[in-house]
Structure 1
Amino acid sequence: MFKKAILLLGVAVTCCLLWFAVYDYREAGPIARENLRGLALSLTTAIEKLAANDPSLETLHSFHPADVAYFALVDGRGVYRFHSNRDLVGTAVDHRAAKEQVLFDRSETRVVLGTGERAYQFASPVTVAGEPLLLVLTLHTFRADAVTRRARLNMTIVVALVGIGWLLSLGLARYARRQERHEEELARREALAKLGEMGAVLAHEIRNPLAGIKGFAQVIAAKPQELRNGAFAESIVTEAVRLESLVNDLLLYAANEPDTVADFPLAPLVEHVVSLHGPDAGYGHVGITWSCPADLLVRGNRDRIEQALLNLVHNALQAMAQGGELRVVASRSGRNVVIRIEDNGHGIADEHLPLVFEPFFTTKTRGTGLGLALCKKIVEANGGRITLKSRAGEGTVVTMVLPRAR
Structure 2
Amino acid sequence: MFRKAILLLGVAVTCCLLWFAVYDYREAGPISRENLSGLALSLTTAIEKLAANDPSLETLHSFHPPDVAYFALVDRRGVYRFHSNHDLVGTTVDARSQEIPLLTRSETRIALGTGERAYQFTSPVTVHGEPLALVLTLHTYRADAVTRRARLNMTIVLALVVVGWLLSLGLARYARRDERHREELARRESLAKLGEMGAVLAHEIRNPLAGIKGFAQVIAAKPQESRNAAFARSIVTEAVRLESLVNDLLAYAANEPETVADFPLADLFDHTASLLQPDAGAHGVTIEWRCPEDLSLRGNRDRIEQALLNLGHNAVQAMPDGGHLQLLAERSGKDAVITIRDNGSGIAQEHRQLVFEPFFTTKSRGTGLGLALCRKIVEANRGSITLHSREGEGTVVTLTLPCAS
**TM bucket normalised to smaller:** 0.7 to 0.9
What RMSD, in angstroms, separates the aligned Cα atoms of the two structures?
2.8
Equivalent in the alignment of 1:314:
313
The question of whether the paired residues in 1 share the 8 Å contact of 2:107 and 2:119 is answered with no
CA distance in structure 2 between the aligned counterparts of 1:149 and 1:389, rounded to whole angstroms = 59
Q: CA deviation at 1:364?
A: 1.7
**Residues 173 and 99 (structure 1 numbering): CA distance in 2 closer, same or farther, change over 3 Å?**
closer
- The CA deviation string for residues 289-341 of structure 1, in whole angstroms up to 9 with x for no partner, is 23334444444333322211111111011111121222233334555433332
Letter in 1 for 2:299: G
Q: CA deviation at 1:253?
A: 0.4
Letter in 1 for 2:54: D
Equivalent in the alignment of 1:10:
10
CA distance in structure 2 between the aligned counterparts of 1:108 and 1:193, rounded to whole angstroms = 82
Equivalent in the alignment of 2:19:
19
CA distance in structure 2 between the aligned counterparts of 1:301 and 1:169, rounded to whole angstroms = 45
Matched, 1:102 2:100: yes
Equivalent in the alignment of 2:178:
179
Q: Pairwise mapping of residues 151-300 of structure 1 onto structure 2 (< 5 A)?
A: 151-256=150-255, 258-300=257-299
- The CA deviation string for residues 45-72 of structure 1, in whole angstroms up to 9 with x for no partner, is 3322332333222332443333223323
Name the SS for the 1:354 alignment partner: coil
CA distance in structure 1 between the aligned counterparts of 2:15 and 2:292, rounded to whole angstroms = 55
Name the SS for the 2:352 alignment partner: helix
- The CA deviation string for residues 371-404 of structure 1, in whole angstroms up to 9 with x for no partner, is 0110111122223322223344333222223344
Letter in 2 for 1:283: A
**Residues 80 and 395 (structure 1 numbering): CA distance in 2 closer, same or farther, change over 3 Å?**
same
CA distance in structure 2 between the aligned counterparts of 1:223 and 1:99, rounded to whole angstroms = 131
More displaced, 19-28 or 241-250?
Answer: 19-28
CA distance in structure 2 between the aligned counterparts of 1:278 and 1:343, rounded to whole angstroms = 15
The question of whether the paired residues in 1 share the 8 Å contact of 2:78 and 2:100 is answered with no
The question of whether the paired residues in 2 share the 8 Å contact of 1:262 and 1:299 is answered with yes
Q: CA deviation at 1:78?
A: 5.7
CA distance in structure 2 between the aligned counterparts of 1:263 and 1:91, rounded to whole angstroms = 107
Equivalent in the alignment of 1:339:
338
Equivalent in the alignment of 2:49:
49
**Identity across matched positions, percent:** 78
Letter in 2 for 1:56: S
Equivalent in the alignment of 1:396:
395
Name the SS for the 1:402 alignment partner: strand
Equivalent in the alignment of 2:384:
385
Equivalent in the alignment of 1:120:
119
**Residues 175 and 70 (structure 1 numbering): CA distance in 2 closer, same or farther, change over 3 Å?**
same
Matched, 1:36 2:36: yes
CA distance in structure 2 between the aligned counterparts of 1:405 and 1:63, rounded to whole angstroms = 94
Q: CA deviation at 1:362?
A: 1.5
Name the SS for the 1:355 alignment partner: coil
Give the count of matched residue pairs. 403
The question of whether the paired residues in 2 share the 8 Å contact of 1:78 and 1:98 is answered with no
Q: Pairwise mapping of residues 320-331 of structure 1 onto structure 2 (< 5 A)?
A: 320-331=319-330
**Residues 166 and 83 (structure 1 numbering): CA distance in 2 closer, same or farther, change over 3 Å?**
same
The question of whether the paired residues in 2 share the 8 Å contact of 1:81 and 1:89 is answered with no
Equivalent in the alignment of 1:359:
358
Name the SS for the 1:35 alignment partner: helix
Letter in 1 for 2:100: V
Unaligned runs of 5+ in 1: none
TM-score by length of 1: 0.87
Unaligned runs of 5+ in 2: none
**Residues 19 and 266 (structure 1 numbering): CA distance in 2 closer, same or farther, change over 3 Å?**
farther
TM-score by length of 2: 0.88
**Residues 207 and 153 (structure 1 numbering): CA distance in 2 closer, same or farther, change over 3 Å?**
same
